[in-house]
Structure 1
């Protein structure tokens, strides 16, 4: 049977480049020309900022919005798009544009103008990837954990082409989280309270395996609070398996990211971290400096002001919970609820 060139064409377009697999029909079939045209068209459609020159539109009312691949970043990016469009901007959607290794070079090159990011993680990445900063200084910057200090450090690593707008109050950070029953039984409000408990009885703690050696993990908790734990590794990044262990009482506490919907749905308690053991990961808009006009800043700052940790949990739950909303619908509903679907800038 002669292979069908339409079925034989398989596109594999990803952030690292383009891969095309073609089952070759007999040379007498002229349709191969069509296949080659399709291959070329799909290759040019792939978004790969590292493999093409920058193309920043000089029009300040044209904004290209990208995001990381995690759903939370995509939701926030879509919120940016909706609010900007409501205020007369022409927006290009480049959401789900990969990791920082992809979207930050794209920002610098001009393929993207704006992305939502996470303050502490962004500072660590930029510090490690700024050639003018020594390894020693990069390590110092990576140990900065409070939001005011992180914000103060940004100009040193952003360069002349990037800027950050006002961070949102909501932070997607590591945490020490317990059940409400555990918090009530032992009078736990902060990590310091849990540290006192650990002097009297065993406190089991679940997190990804690297948490055992990270400076902000078990070593940091012991250094900053005197918290000693019986560490239980579970590499689901505070997902459902870890939550099940916590709610069943098989572990005392766990590292649950602060915008995880289960904190609300399972009535969990995030213990206060007054010594800033965990880096603040407030949502921060990262933007090309040439696009950071007063009008753009006004729109995005208005969005950021509404993004509390509770709102971020609700947005994540709208997509991952029973409703299973698409990112676009979750963002649209939220923008309307917050009265941001109108011209105000």
Structure 2
């Protein structure tokens, strides 16, 4: 006959096993399963699809919840564990969590994020790829004045008209003066037509995002920003830590190691200009970079 001590131990073990089974079966994200979300604009959908394709190639079961909405909605769902993975932009996420932060370089932004994010969320490795503001000129202007950096505009700014969103002047005019000693002859609100305005000469320099496909199609030249006037906006995966195993984190870090701005720009041309399916563009990129 078994002793009471043995029977009690067996009962405890059985109860624990049942508890673990119930927990596993009721949690759709337990094991090798993840849910990937994205914001509601084409580039973020593309990035989420790259993450999805790379993870599926490693045997991870992925549920895609793309095109959800704004950061406010997405971050709340990640924080609650309803999403496992988001493609983020480190500078934008830091501004959301700490609007007063002055961190500008990639390293400083990520260090600040590491402090501001809750312990349940992990910031993985940032990619070199960035979707950020740049001062951009035409190839002709760059060649004529030997322009490579924003600093090169210092002796020329008084001759140039600069274009951008209506709020660009109020946000940046003093910064250009303070950081690079650059002042412009005129500030013209060109909104989403800035790239075209640079090409047709309406403005000589303008605020264009680094992954705008018109940089390629119109032959524009983004100027370097060595003093980080425009803060870092590196593509960076963030994960709900308890639902992301080492296969997930290693795979996403491998994606970041391969993803640069030129590659993202080329893919965005395929998606936005050529109208290729983001999922297919992502699949081709994953395969071409040895991640499949």
Task: Specify the TM-score bucket, using the shorter chain as the normaliser.
Answer: 0.7 to 0.9
User: What residue number does 2:119 align with?
Assistant: 160
2:168 pairs with 1:211: yes
Structure 1, residues 195-228: CA drift from partner, whole Å, max 9, x if none? 2212xx42110000111112xx222111101111
The structure richer in helix per residue is 2
Distance 1:261 1:126 in 2: 29
Q: How does 1:191-206 map to 2 (within 5 A)?
A: 191-198=150-157, 201-206=158-163
Q: How does 1:56-205 map to 2 (within 5 A)?
A: 57-128=28-99, 139=100, 141=101, 143-198=102-157, 201-205=158-162
Distance 1:292 1:159 in 2: 15
Distance 1:288 1:314 in 2: 30
Q: What SS is found at the alignment partner of 1:196?
A: coil
Q: What SS is found at the alignment partner of 2:270?
A: helix
2:286 to 327, 332, 335: 335
Distance 2:143 2:120 in 1: 50
1:278 to 221, 226, 230: 230
Which stretches in structure 1 are left out of the alignment for 5+ residues? 1-54, 129-138
User: What residue number does 2:9 align with?
Assistant: none
- TM-score w.r.t. the length of structure 1 is 0.74
Given that 2:32 and 2:245 are in contact with CA atoms closer than 8 Å, whether structure 1 keeps it comes out as: no
User: What residue number does 2:191 align with?
Assistant: 235
Q: What SS is found at the alignment partner of 2:155?
A: helix
- TM-score w.r.t. the length of structure 2 is 0.88
User: What residue number does 1:295 align with?
Assistant: 247
Change (3 A) 1:256 1:172: same
Deviates more, 1:61-70 or 1:289-298: 289-298
Aligned residues: 266
Distance 1:56 1:223 in 2: 53
Structure 1, residues 73-101: CA drift from partner, whole Å, max 9, x if none? 10010111111111111111111111111
1:304 to 256, 265, 272: 256
Distance 1:332 1:340 in 2: 10
Structure 1, residues 21-42: CA drift from partner, whole Å, max 9, x if none? xxxxxxxxxxxxxxxxxxxxxx
Distance 1:58 1:107 in 2: 13
Which stretches in structure 2 are left out of the alignment for 5+ residues? 1-25
Given that 1:56 and 1:112 are in contact with CA atoms closer than 8 Å, whether structure 2 keeps it comes out as: no
User: What residue number does 2:272 align with?
Assistant: 320
Distance 2:47 2:64 in 1: 12
Q: What SS is found at the alignment partner of 2:97?
A: helix
Q: CA RMSD in A?
A: 1.4
Structure 1, residues 157-215: CA drift from partner, whole Å, max 9, x if none? 101111110000011110000011101111111111112212xx42110000111112x
